[in-house]
Amino acid sequence: YDFLEENGFKYSSRLFPINVGLYGDNNFPVDLFNPARRGKFYEIPVRPFSILGVRIPFSGGVYFRILPKWVIKYFIRKLNARNEGVIVYLHPWEFCRNIPKVKTSLVGKVTTYWGIKKNERKLEDILKNFKFGPMYELLK
């Protein structure tokens, strides 16, 4: 964080507040916070949706691709109603319909290829139905 702040960055969104096996941690906060407790640098975690204390990732990557659009829209509506922002994050390759196929496990196939063909239309619908803005607006 010190390096990022020293080099002019104002925020990061690198923490994933859900343990999904390969990365993330359920102990990470879900709200914006100042990790160094000094300066003006903030961590803006990708907010999960919580049901009965269980954090559910939904707004990016494989989670955005595998979940039905109506579920994502429901989660965004509920969080917005509580005045909680949602970060939608997508990787450029997740829009590549001709992504090269590699030999991998079933889990690898799902996490890499599932939903790519519908991802662009899903994102367009989400963008039409909700207001989004730049990350720095979350710092206000």
Please name every residue paired with 49 in a beta bridge, in sequence order, or none if there are none. Answer: 56
Q: What are the tens digits of pLDDT across the range 36-45?
A: 777 789 999 9
Q: What are the tens digits of pLDDT across the range 72-97?
A: 999 999 999 999 989 999 999 999 98
Per-residue pLDDT at 7 exceeds 80:
yes
In whole angstroms, give the CA distance from residue 127 to residue 140. Answer: 22
Q: Which H/E stretch holds residue 118?
A: helix 116-129
Predicted pLDDT of residue 52: 95
Q: What is the share, in percent, of the chain residues with pLDDT greater than 70?
A: 100
pLDDT band for position 59 (50/70/90)? very high
pLDDT band for position 138 (50/70/90)? confident
pLDDT band for position 135 (50/70/90)? confident
Do 90 and 60 touch, CB atoms closer than 8 A?
yes
Tokens (6 digits) for 52 = 């009965």
Q: Are strands 49-51 and 54-56 parallel, antiparallel or unpaired?
A: antiparallel
pLDDT band for position 139 (50/70/90)? confident
Per-residue pLDDT at 69 exceeds 90:
yes
Query: DSSP letters of 65-95?
Result: HHS-HHHHHHHHHHHHHTT-----B--GGGG
pTM reported for the whole predicted model: 0.88
Predicted pLDDT of residue 1: 85
Can you tell me which residue has the tokens 């390969």?
22
Q: Is 83 left (phi over 0), alpha (psi -120 to 50) or beta?
A: left
